[in-house]
Amino acid sequence: MARIVQKYGGTSVGDVERIKNVANRIKAVREAGNEVVVVVSARSGVTNELIARAKSLHPSPPDRELDQLVSIGEQETIALTAIALDAIGVLAKSYTGAQAGITTDKVYTKAKITGIDGKSIEKDLQAGKVVIVAGFQGIDDEGQVTTLGRGGSDLTAIALAAAIKADKCEIYTDVDGVYTADPRVVKDAKKLQEISYDEMLELASLGSKVMQTRSVEFAAKYNVIFEVRSSFNTNPGTIVKQEVAYMEKVVVRGVAVDKDQAKVVVSRIADKPGTAAAVFRALAEANINVDMIVQNVGHDGVANLTFTVPQSETLKAEKALAPVLKAVGGTVTLDDKIAKLSVVGVGMRTHSGVASTLFTALADAGINLELISTSEIKISVVIAKDKADDAARAAHKAFALEKL
């Protein structure tokens, strides 16, 4: 007997037929004698639809109300999954995030989990029930509903697996693992048998939506080994785990594209100590994630600062910057017709020439580089959004990832 946490994403519970499929899969695992905790997402499209509805009423809806709204997506699927299980004779009980004892801080729309009180779940498992938990949501210490950031059901699953000391954590989605690139874009992308937390973390944070970034961070911190698999077949998936020595033999393990970024240029700000600090303090105080910061060489006492932010946060960024620019001068321009392309691999630590291979491949494909940034295990470039898919294919080919 094992204790297993399974997470089914939006496509996997996208309609009644698919929920029946999920219920049958759960039944088989339960009847094999395992304890099963299941996390489900909202039906695919529902979260987006709810957000769009809110935005049709208000350009920037209050975050608390957004969380109140989008949390209903998962509340629907937990109940439907429990009902589908009951219909085939499996004891099951659904839990909202609050009922499951998932507590968070108060940062609406991207709350952090502060604790999980697994007592009720434990009791139901002892009683032989399958426990179905709503992904993506929690409750703060004042009883307010919070959500964990888009894709946050992955985090619910991994945090639960850690909290209830599960033997296995399986993330079921609509592809059968983590590929060397998004298989919808790069047709000859290869499924990876395994990948390190660090690589998965970079790929996720650089746009590979297959896993939510924070869920991978959490898994690495608590050493939760998990497998990404398909809910539509029984193929083995990709194991995500701590790095082992042989992983460094592969220089680049994956290509990621993020089309949800925007470039912000703050032009002609005072070139003196404290200006950049003031700009980024204002953005940090507004909880905006900034990346790829470049400052040009100052001239005539002024300089330009360029950086990227998530597209969904451009309005917030503009608002946050207004008082600073009043004080230090300068103007803001936004460009959302950009994408970030990245190559990732722990092998970059010990191999050279990665940048030159990437830049040559992109140059040969006629793609201009607007910003470049590197870290120990990744290289990212900002390019025109309409060239992003071509760039992903060119990079994939340049590193021969189809042969991994």
Site string for ligand ASP, 77-96 (x = CB under 6 A): --------------------
Backbone φ and ψ of 52, nearest 5°: -65, -40
Q: Which does 96 bind (CB under 5 to 8 A by kind): ligand ASP, ligand ADP, Mg ion, none?
A: none
Stretch that binds ligand ADP, among 7-15, 292-300, 363-371, 392-400 (CB under 6 A): 7-15
Helix, strand, coil % (nearest 5) of the chain?
40, 25, 35
Query: Interface with ligand ADP includes 210 (CB under 6 A)?
Result: yes
Q: Which does 214 bind (CB under 5 to 8 A by kind): ligand ADP, ligand ASP, Mg ion, none?
A: none
Site size for ligand ASP (CB under 6 A):
13
Q: List helix spans (H) across 127-177.
A: 153-163
Site string for ligand ADP, 13-52 (x = CB under 6 A): ----------------------------x--x--------
Query: Interface with ligand ASP includes 10 (CB under 6 A)?
Result: yes
Torsion sign (Cα): 260, 240, 359, 298 = positive
Query: Interface with ligand ASP includes 173 (CB under 6 A)?
Result: no
103's enclosing H/E stretch is strand 102-104
Q: Which is nearer to ligand ADP, 202 or 271 (CB)?
A: 202
Q: What angle do CA 315, 139, 150 make, to 5 degrees?
A: 40
Measured CA to CA, the distance from residue 91 to residue 55 in angstroms comes to 39
Contact 42/84 with Cβ under 8 angstroms? Answer: no
Amino acid at site 341? L
Q: Which is nearer to ligand ADP, 208 or 275 (CB)?
A: 208
Contact 365/357 with Cβ under 8 angstroms? Answer: no
Q: Which is nearer to ligand ASP, 22 or 269 (CB)?
A: 22
- What DSSP state is assigned to residue 272? S
Q: Which residue has the tokens 């997470």?
A: 7
Stretch that binds ligand ASP, among 101-109, 150-158, 197-205, 224-232 (CB under 6 A): 150-158
Query: Interface with ligand ASP includes 314 (CB under 6 A)?
Result: no
Q: In sequence order, what DSSP letters do the residues of 276-293 get, joined into one string?
A: HHHHHHHHHHTT---EEE
Three-class SS of residue 394? Answer: helix
Min separation Cβ 226 and Mg ion, Å? 13
Q: What angle do CA 374, 186, 392 make, to 5 degrees?
A: 30
Q: Which is nearer to ligand ADP, 148 or 178 (CB)?
A: 178
Q: Which is nearer to ligand ASP, 46 or 361 (CB)?
A: 46
Query: Interface with ligand ASP includes 150 (CB under 6 A)?
Result: yes
Site for ligand ADP in 275-334 (CB under 6 A): none
Q: Which does 135 bind (CB under 5 to 8 A by kind): Mg ion, ligand ASP, ligand ADP, none?
A: ligand ASP
Residue closest to ligand ADP, measured at CB: 9
Q: Which does 42 bind (CB under 5 to 8 A by kind): ligand ASP, Mg ion, ligand ADP, none?
A: ligand ASP
Query: Interface with ligand ADP includes 67 (CB under 6 A)?
Result: no
Min separation Cβ 357 and ligand ADP, Å? 19
Stretch that binds ligand ASP, among 95-103, 151-159, 238-246, 381-389 (CB under 6 A): 151-159
Query: Interface with ligand ASP includes 153 (CB under 6 A)?
Result: yes
Measured CA to CA, the distance from residue 189 to residue 238 in angstroms comes to 14
Which letter, b or e, does each residue of 71-107 get, where b requires 16 or more Cβ atoms within 10 Å of its Cβ? bbbbbebbebbbebbeeeebebbbbbbbebbbbbeeb
Q: In the set 47, 71, 156, 208, which binds ligand ADP (CB under 6 A)?
A: 208
Measured CA to CA, the distance from residue 213 to residue 2 in angstroms comes to 27
Site for ligand ADP in 339-358 (CB under 6 A): none
Q: Which residue has the tokens 């499929």?
A: 21
Of 265, 344, 356, 273, give the one whose Cα is nearest residue 308. Answer: 265
Measured CA to CA, the distance from residue 383 to residue 254 in angstroms comes to 18
Contact 139/101 with Cβ under 8 angstroms? Answer: no
Backbone φ and ψ of 201, nearest 5°: -65, -45
Q: Which does 182 bind (CB under 5 to 8 A by kind): ligand ADP, ligand ASP, Mg ion, none?
A: ligand ADP
Catalog residues that contact ligand ADP under the rule CB under 6 A. Answer: 9-12, 41, 44, 151, 173-175, 178-179, 181-184, 208-210, 254
Report the interface residues with ligand ASP, using CB under 6 A.
9-10, 41-42, 47, 73, 135-136, 150-154
